[in-house]
Structure 1
Amino acid sequence: MSELRQECQEVGTCVELFAGGGGLAMAVHTAGFRPLLVNEYAKRACESLRINPPDPNRPDERWPLVPGDVRDVDYGKHITGEVDVLAGGPPCQPFSLGGAHKGVEDERNMFPEMFRAIRELSPKAVICENVRGLLRPSFKPYFKYILNEMRLPFEKRSEEASWEDHNEILEKLIANEDVEPSKRYFVREMEVNAADYGVPQIRNRVIIVAFRADLNVNWGAFMPKETHSEESMIHSMREGGSYWTERHKEVPPEVRKRVIANLPKLNYEDPKVKQKLTLTPWRTLRDAIVGIDENEGRPLPYVTAEAVKNKFEIGGIRDHIGWPGARTYAGHTPNVLDRPAKTVKAGVHGVPGGESVMQLDDVDFVNDGGGTGYRYMTVREAARVMTFPDHVVLDGPRGEKMRQLGNAVPVKLGAVFSQAVAEALKSVGALKDPEKRK
């Protein structure tokens, strides 16, 4: 049974910034943290949060949404109690390969607002997600500054100081340990691929986790380890492997034969390969469509050429709607079913790399754009790749829904780290007994 299906038992409280369509918010809530405040700027994403309850078993409850610019949020007005976890993914465009690459100079850089929230809320833990572009050589010095600011968030930067000048001050304070533990944070950054944690998607990201130093949390004992591997997936796809015999028995023999013929070879004598083979296989786009975790046992109905041409909803499933006009060309290649999907990006047409297009088993399938053997993914298929449960309905036209998904944190990836943070806080008695919270 998926951790996302388990009834959530409250263990603490949280504040979520830059919530988007709710991927990380759902994950933190699943780990048992009751939201005190959820902030988002985009109107369509705010509407998505309004129409989806945090817990589908309690449809009358709603996220405590405070819409608008995060710079205008008055935390004292909305929050009176203790905050256990602050979570959020500041807008990634300043550091993304798909953005303008301006980094710290970009007005969309919202890391300073994360630091303000830490100063005003003094949370026990912080979970922050962002693009791997932060690690690019041109941004790496500023990324180190981000980590230092998170370590000493109460050492506020003066308006006339440059970030470089402020960083020098922070590094001296950190080296000398001159700041009391309740005003410092222990910070760890991790480069992760979501596929290594059971998400059916190649999504490389940076996760930053921080704990208030006075709690003496040993994060190393709880830091999530990779659970899935490409090597194990390849092994499971060999002739007679579990991939075909357990989950995908109905795949046509000619398709299975083609996939097997294109599998890379494994060196079974390599110690690293042996270790990777002990992990669970990477999940694939085909797995997501058949149904995993929250959606286990609920395969999405087949999308016909007619549905693509006429934008029909298939099987009465919200957002499972055909979409015409798919194209493939050099540098714009489709997702394949028997690999994790490419990174879901915040776009619908013209997304670089063909991330919204999928190759089909039926090579004779004719889409409305004139091509054969491929089509656009439906929004519901993209949502499954992001491990959003099917009960989550996104607001807006297709482009807006895809944008919300592309900007989100995969729910399962967020849940892995949120639950690890919860266990780490429990280990030092930093979370109250659930019975005392009733």
Structure 2
Amino acid sequence: MKSVELFAGAGGLAMGVTLAGFESLAVAEWDRWACDTIRENQHNGYPLVKDWPLWEGDVHVFDWSSIPEGIDLLAGGPPCQPFSMGGQHKAFGDKRDMFPVTVEAVRRLKPKSFLIENVRGLTRTSFHEYFQYIQLQLEFPEVARHNGETWLEHLKRLREEKTSGALHFNGLTYNLFPVLVNAADYGIPQKRERIFIVGFRSDLGVEWSPPDTTHSLDALLYDKWVTGDYWERHRIPKSCRPAVPERQIKRVEKLGNSVLPNVHKPWRTVRDALVDVPDPREEGASFFRDHKFQDGARVYKGHTGSPLDLPSKTLKAGVHGVPGGENMMVCDDGSVRYFTVRESARLQNFPDGYTFHGAWSEAMRQLGNAVPVALARTMACSIAEQLALAQLRNLANEQRSSSRKMA
């Protein structure tokens, strides 16, 4: 199966797509530092990225004719700053809004499916109409915006198109499945909420639903304060174990009086993710690549760091994350320090052998913008499965048609 990745950044989403079995025909990114990260890993022969056809530049001028129509998957995470909770919230008024060029790519490439990731802020009430506008453009990519037409005027035409249903019979349309997911529910050691817009070309007849979650907070609470297995696993003596947080007491009591179904694994915590990673201040810690201590961490209002025994808070990019307090951990003694690049890469599921180009702040920006690799793989695998089933249905229909003609 063939894919194209837009706004690839350091490669998190593209890695997940590759792990799901797709072959990249183009990996597009404009940021030089992120491209240098990919190039450095290609130079080092890192297996997942060594054959990527990296294209550095503004995707507005990408030569779409170089890619055959009907590829299996178009994937990308358009820059999130226009919609981020920590950004300026300009949405359609922000020049960094790359949803229009994403729609153009869908229009030109006519992919069988697409996977688009963005921040939870896109779903906020103040962006309701623009979020609907994005979805309708992706649903009806051939209903293009006219010169001089405002986005609200275009939205009105798209709504009329959806009501009439004319294009559903003779044009390029997609069935959309937007879903809000928490990365922690899929085994990522980070409470990272993101919106995924999954689309399948209407002629494929796909009905998609998000992959079943695999991890839960209840399972973690049970592991900590009902069985104590979590603390035993990390060799934390009983005298050093914290008390049940007051806000969780009733929940833990309820869990203790029931048999927890063996459905979910516990949320993975910062301690779980970094169990074999030494403190960067220790001698020999430099054995881990990109694991250098960064001084200057401090607590301030709204930025208190991530406790060790929960999934981390969302890693951030930009002025609110670098050097903001959310990109730091709260140590066992209550002190705080910044996550190193390697620790942050662990929280985003990047392999230990993957190198990040640039200084700490630049590498952290790339990581804060990335899609967790394992989450990207999970989503892409679910799409690949549906594409394979659609192909089987198509073959079965062709065989039935051929049999009828022979009869």
Q: 1:301 aligns with which of 267, 271, 278?
A: 278
Which residue of 2 is the match for residue 357 of structure 1? 328
Tell me, in whole angstroms, the C-alpha distance in 1 between the residues paired with 2:173 and 2:394. Answer: 22
- The alpha carbon displacement at 1:163 in A equals 1.3
| Matched ranges for 1:29-68 at <5 A | 29-53=18-42, 58=47, 61-68=50-57
| Matched ranges for 1:368-407 at <5 A | 373-407=335-369
Amino acid at match of 2:145: R
| Matched ranges for 1:124-143 at <5 A | 124-143=112-131
Amino acid at match of 2:308: L
Cα deviations by residue, 1:375-414 (Å, 9 ceiling, x for unpaired)? 1111111111111111111111101100000001111111
Q: Does 1:409 align with 2:371?
A: yes
Q: Does 1:426 align with 2:388?
A: yes
| Matched ranges for 1:282-293 at <5 A | 282-290=267-275
Tell me, in whole angstroms, the C-alpha distance in 2 between the residues paired with 1:219 and 1:128. Answer: 15
Consecutive unaligned residues of structure 1, counting only runs of 5 or more, are 1-11, 291-298, 364-372, 434-438
- The alpha carbon displacement at 1:15 in A equals 0.2
- The alpha carbon displacement at 1:225 in A equals 2.1
Cα deviations by residue, 1:74-118 (Å, 9 ceiling, x for unpaired)? 111x32464110000100101112211111011100000111100
Which residue of 2 is the match for residue 84 of structure 1? 72
- The alpha carbon displacement at 1:16 in A equals 0.2
| Matched ranges for 1:143-182 at <5 A | 143-179=131-167, 180=169
Tell me, in whole angstroms, the C-alpha distance in 1 between the residues paired with 2:284 and 2:318. Answer: 20
Secondary structure class of the residue paired with 1:208: strand
Contact 1:181 1:213 in 2 (8 A): no
The percent identity for this pair of structures is 43
Which residue of 1 is the match for residue 234 of structure 2? 248
More helix by share: 2
Q: 1:120 aligns with which of 105, 108, 127?
A: 108
Higher mean alpha-carbon deviation, 276-285 vs 225-234, is at: 276-285
Q: 1:351 to 1:141 in 2, by over 3 A?
A: same
Which residue of 1 is the match for residue 404 of structure 2? none
Tell me, in whole angstroms, the C-alpha distance in 2 between the residues paired with 1:430 and 1:227. Answer: 28
Q: Does 1:235 align with 2:222?
A: yes
Contact 1:384 1:390 in 2 (8 A): yes
Q: 1:269 to 1:337 in 2, by over 3 A?
A: closer
Q: 1:410 to 1:150 in 2, by over 3 A?
A: same
- The alpha carbon displacement at 1:228 in A equals 1.1
The TM-score, its normalising length taken from structure 2, stands at 0.89
- The alpha carbon displacement at 1:55 in A equals 11
Q: 1:418 to 1:56 in 2, by over 3 A?
A: farther
Tell me, in whole angstroms, the C-alpha distance in 2 between the residues paired with 1:430 and 1:379. Answer: 44
Higher mean alpha-carbon deviation, 165-174 vs 280-289, is at: 165-174
Consecutive unaligned residues of structure 2, counting only runs of 5 or more, are 396-407
Contact 1:239 1:260 in 2 (8 A): no
Which residue of 2 is the match for residue 370 of structure 1? none
Q: 1:397 to 1:315 in 2, by over 3 A?
A: closer
Q: Does 1:99 align with 2:87?
A: yes
Contact 2:294 2:340 in 1 (8 A): yes
Which residue of 1 is the match for residue 63 of structure 2? 74
Tell me, in whole angstroms, the C-alpha distance in 1 between the residues paired with 2:326 and 2:106. Answer: 35
CA RMSD in angstroms comes to 2.7
Contact 1:215 1:430 in 2 (8 A): no
Cα deviations by residue, 1:175-228 (Å, 9 ceiling, x for unpaired)? 2220136500000111111111111101111110000000111213xx212221
- The alpha carbon displacement at 1:352 in A equals 8.4
Cα deviations by residue, 1:222-252 (Å, 9 ceiling, x for unpaired)? x21222111110110016422123x312x35
Q: 1:151 to 1:187 in 2, by over 3 A?
A: same
Cα deviations by residue, 1:336-368 (Å, 9 ceiling, x for unpaired)? 1000001000148865872122111245xxxxx
Q: 1:133 to 1:181 in 2, by over 3 A?
A: farther
Size of the aligned set, in residue pairs, is: 391
Secondary structure class of the residue paired with 1:38: strand
Which residue of 1 is the match for residue 248 of structure 2? 264
- The alpha carbon displacement at 1:164 in A equals 1.4
Tell me, in whole angstroms, the C-alpha distance in 2 between the residues paired with 1:50 and 1:253. Answer: 48
- The alpha carbon displacement at 1:374 in A equals 2.3
Contact 2:8 2:27 in 1 (8 A): yes
Contact 2:11 2:38 in 1 (8 A): yes
Cα deviations by residue, 1:264-312 (Å, 9 ceiling, x for unpaired)? 2226658xx977873211110001102xxxxxxxx112333xx5xxxx8
Tell me, in whole angstroms, the C-alpha distance in 1 between the residues paired with 2:319 and 2:83. Answer: 21
Amino acid at match of 1:398: W
Higher mean alpha-carbon deviation, 236-245 vs 14-23, is at: 236-245
The TM-score, its normalising length taken from structure 1, stands at 0.83
